């Protein structure tokens, strides 16, 4: 399918693919087995200017948007979802600054992010606040010209590796979600430490840690937006970034599909390559159709976001939901096409299937995406009446 990419977009796609093939594929199995953070690859992405894609030119970026980010994420995801999660979570952590930062905050933080000199992480989730993001307990108490943070954030991607953290905490506990505010916290701040690195089923090249705040003092000017806006900052951030999770789904599914086709062409059973059997052909046909439908939805949603549309919540949730459920179906069936070989670590598809599972969970489970879509449908129906 031709998605009518501009010359520049084709270049971004080809550059990301070249890095994926030359730098990521050769090391992905080792990174997975050793649970090693992909610093070398992050340095290659930085020197190739891929961290600045969605950051305005005045802050050292390329002034492109969600679409260009999505195509880069897709290509990296076809090679390794652990690597692409590290890269995409950097964008997730950056959106609060991009969407709600003052010109001074943008000037201070975005150039380092655009150059890939500093990684970013987003801190919302807590032990008792996953799907129920409004239930966070971490507090930020105003004290003179500082805020004092106390609490623990859980399962934070890029935790420990990032230099910059965008964190949601309660400035008014009595108001619950409406008393939440968003902050920038820098690594090294007194009272800010990290929990152990989590051991995960998949995306094992990515780092996942707790962020621990114990009387962590940060300057007042590190608030993003106003006090009480934190929940909206988090929701708008997720509206922008969920389409990127959809792009991860398209990428990993394409990667698994390509492996399945390659295998089916060479594997001979009953005297023929198995790609000649209709049972296999129908599975491949369904997988290819599924991937293309998800890609069309993800690309269109990213373009919709880049158009400056005001309300992208439903579209972004739909793209995340469809593309990531698709990724689980396609990686599972790619493994099935390969039979016992697919189950072996010698081939990359078992890792792709393990990795894909997280896409249905992070940045809001797919059950939460359905809630978000339904709430928006109800709102639209009420408006139309």
Task: For ligand COS, give the closer residue by CB, 64 or 314.
Answer: 314
Tokens 């916290």 sit on residue: 185
Q: Does residue 88 belong to the site contacting ligand COS (CB under 6 A)?
A: no
Residues 19-78 that bind ligand COS (CB under 6 A): none
- Residue with smallest beta-carbon separation from ligand COS: 364
Task: For ligand COS, give the closer residue by CB, 5 or 232.
Answer: 232
Inter-residue contact 97 to 166 (CB < 8 Å): yes
Task: For ligand COS, give the closer residue by CB, 75 or 363.
Answer: 363
Q: Does residue 81 belong to the site contacting ligand COS (CB under 6 A)?
A: no
Task: For ligand COS, give the closer residue by CB, 156 or 287.
Answer: 156
Q: Does residue 182 belong to the site contacting ligand COS (CB under 6 A)?
A: no
Q: What angle do CA 21, 22, 28 make, to 5 degrees?
A: 70
How far is Cα 125 from Cα 355, in angstroms, rounded to an integer?
20
Among 54, 62, 231, 299, the residue binding ligand COS under the rule CB under 6 A is 231
Q: Does residue 235 belong to the site contacting ligand COS (CB under 6 A)?
A: yes
Q: Does residue 181 sit in helix, strand or coil? A: strand
Inter-residue contact 113 to 54 (CB < 8 Å): no
Pairing mode, if any, of strands 208-219 and 146-157? antiparallel
Inter-residue contact 38 to 25 (CB < 8 Å): no
Tokens 């975005």 sit on residue: 110
Q: Count CB neighbours of 319 within 10 A.
A: 31
Interface with ligand COS by CB under 6 A: which range of 99-107, 187-195, 210-218, 229-237?
Answer: 229-237
Interface with ligand COS by CB under 6 A: which range of 99-107, 203-211, 289-297, 361-369?
Answer: 361-369
Task: For ligand COS, give the closer residue by CB, 13 or 178.
Answer: 178
Q: Does residue 225 belong to the site contacting ligand COS (CB under 6 A)?
A: no
Q: Confirm whether 74 is a catalytic residue.
A: no
How far is Cα 193 from Cα 199, in angstroms, rounded to an integer?
19
Q: Does residue 203 belong to the site contacting ligand COS (CB under 6 A)?
A: no
Residues 104-163 that bind ligand COS (CB under 6 A): 122, 124-125, 131-134
Interface with ligand COS by CB under 6 A: which range of 15-23, 30-38, 256-264, 366-374?
Answer: 366-374
Inter-residue contact 256 to 352 (CB < 8 Å): yes
Q: Does residue 223 sit in helix, strand or coil? A: strand
Residues 333-352 that bind ligand COS (CB under 6 A): none
Tokens 């309300």 sit on residue: 311
Backbone φ and ψ of 150, nearest 5°: -140, 135
Task: For ligand COS, give the closer residue by CB, 59 or 122.
Answer: 122
Among 24, 260, 362, 373, the residue binding ligand COS under the rule CB under 6 A is 362
Q: Does residue 239 belong to the site contacting ligand COS (CB under 6 A)?
A: yes
Helices (H), the chain: 7-19, 28-34, 39-47, 66-79, 81-100, 103-114, 230-266, 278-306, 313-343, 349-356, 366-384
Q: Which residues in this chain contact ligand COS in the complex, by CB under 6 A?
A: 122, 124-125, 131-134, 177-178, 231-232, 235-236, 238-239, 313, 362-364, 368, 371-372
Residues annotated as catalytic are 363
């Amino acid at each position: 399918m031709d998605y009518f990419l501009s010359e520049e977009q084709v270049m971004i796609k080809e550059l990301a693919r070249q890095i994926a093939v030359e730098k990521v594929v050769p090391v992905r199995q080792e990174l997975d087995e050793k649970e090693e953070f992909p610093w070398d690859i992050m340095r290659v992405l930085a020197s190739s200017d891929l961290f600045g894609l969605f950051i305005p030119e005045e802050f050292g970026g390329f002034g492109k948007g969600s679409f260009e980010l999505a195509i880069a994420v897709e290509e990296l995801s076809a090679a390794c979802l652990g690597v692409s999660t590290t890269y995409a979570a950097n964008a997730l952590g950056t959106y609060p600054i991009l969407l709600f930062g003052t010109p001074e905050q943008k000037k201070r933080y975005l150039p380092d992010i655009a150059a890939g000199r500093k990684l970013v992480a987003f801190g919302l989730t807590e032990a008792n606040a996953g799907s129920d993001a409004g239930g966070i307990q971490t507090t930020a108490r105003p004290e003179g010209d500082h805020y004092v943070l106390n609490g623990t954030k859980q399962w934070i991607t890029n935790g420990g590796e990032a230099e910059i953290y965008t964190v949601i905490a309660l400035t008014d506990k009595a108001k619950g979600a409406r008393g939440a505010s968003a902050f920038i916290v820098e690594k090294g701040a007194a009272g800010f430490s990290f929990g152990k690195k989590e051991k995960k089923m998949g995306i094992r090249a990515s780092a996942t840690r707790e962020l621990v705040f114990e009387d962590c003092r940060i300057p007042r000017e590190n608030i993003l937006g106003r006090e009480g806006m934190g929940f909206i900052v988090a929701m708008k951030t997720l509206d922008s970034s969920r389409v990127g999770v959809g792009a991860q789904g398209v990428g990993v599914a394409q990667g698994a599909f390509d492996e399945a086709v390659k295998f089916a062409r060479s594997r001979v059973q009953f005297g023929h390559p198995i790609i000649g059997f209709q049972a296999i052909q129908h599975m491949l046909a369904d997988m290819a159709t599924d991937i293309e439908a998800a890609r069309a939805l993800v690309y269109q949603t990213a373009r919709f976001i880049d158009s400056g549309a005001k309300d992208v919540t439903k579209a972004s949730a739909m793209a995340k939901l469809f593309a990531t459920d698709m990724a689980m179906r396609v990686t599972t069936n790619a493994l099935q096409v390969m039979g016992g070989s697919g189950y072996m670590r010698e081939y990359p598809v078992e890792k792709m299937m393990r990795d894909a599972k997280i896409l249905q969970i992070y940045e809001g489970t797919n059950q939460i995406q359905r809630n978000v879509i339904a709430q928006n449908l109800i709102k639209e129906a009420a408006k139309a009446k």
